[in-house]
Amino acid sequence: MAGNRTGVRKHILYCVTLLICLFISGCGSLEVLRVEGTVSEQGAREHLAGGQKALAQHDYQASLQEFEAALSQSGNKPPGDEALLFMGMVYGDPENPKRDYRKSIAAFQRLAQGYPQSNWAEPARIWMDSLEERERLKHTMLETLQDNERVERLWNDALQENERLKRLSNETAQENQKLKRLSNETAQENQKLKQLSNETTQENQKLKEMMEQSKAVDVEVEQKKKGQGE
């Protein structure tokens, strides 16, 4: 895998070098193209050179307009392949504030499919694979971030639920403590009532004994009265 990535990087550097050479030599070869090429191809080459110049000045909108004009005048022939290559590069340039990787991939794909024999077909495939991989990684990263956010929300929900259960547990413990105190107070009250009942029973027993003694005294008095009368 590492060897493949190294090869891809070397190939990309090679493509970049070719593009630089193309840009440098473009102005010098323009005069020859005006003589040897068709009027349509000459116009396409002029727009291609204008797009390269605008791109070098980081005027991305103007460069796209020139490359689109070059593609339109190419009639599915060179330099349409080069125009598509540069369009893909403009859309994929990280410094382009209006960069659009999907449009960049589409331009490279159109080049690879529409100009399979072009010298730029293979570099376009490499750029396309690189951007597609970047888009896949971006998508994976977004999914990971969404998963992390979802896990964080679940974690926060779990913490809140644990806090609620903790409060409920504390409230239950307090309520149990109240019930325990009430139970103890009730037991103490029952003990007092039991004591009072025992004391009442004892009082009643005393009263009963006193009544029996009083009755015995009355009987004794009556007997004495009868004895004296006789």
pLDDT at 78 over 60: yes
Among 116, 107, 121, 111, which Cα is nearest to 15's?
121
Domain count, the chain: 1
Is 220 a member of any domain?
A: no
Is 12 a member of any domain?
A: yes
Cβ(23)–Cβ(56) below 8 Å: yes
31 or 101, greater pLDDT? 101
Is 167 a member of any domain?
A: no
Which CATH number do you get for residue 7? Answer: 1.25.40.10
Cβ(37)–Cβ(69) below 8 Å: no
**Cα–Cα distance measured from residue 127 to residue 120, given in angstroms and rounded to the nearest whole number:** 10
Per-residue pLDDT tens for 21-55? 454 445 444 443 444 456 688 999 999 999 999 99
Among 135, 133, 108, 134, which Cα is nearest to 121's?
108
Cβ(52)–Cβ(33) below 8 Å: no
Cβ(151)–Cβ(134) below 8 Å: no
pLDDT at 56 over 90: yes
Q: How many other CB atoms are there within 10 angstroms of residue 83's CB atom?
A: 26
Is 158 a member of any domain?
A: no
Is 205 a member of any domain?
A: no
Considering the entire predicted model, what is its pTM?
A: 0.53
Q: 128 is in which domain, residue-wise?
A: 2-136
**Cα–Cα distance measured from residue 213 to residue 224, given in angstroms and rounded to the nearest whole number:** 16
Report residue 142's pLDDT band, with 50, 70 and 90 as the boundaries.
Answer: confident
pLDDT at position 32: 38
Q: Report CA torsion sign: 136, 137, 140, 145.
A: negative
pLDDT at 151 over 60: yes
pLDDT at position 71: 95
Per-residue pLDDT tens for 169-224? 899 899 899 989 888 988 888 888 888 888 888 888 888 888 888 887 777 777 77
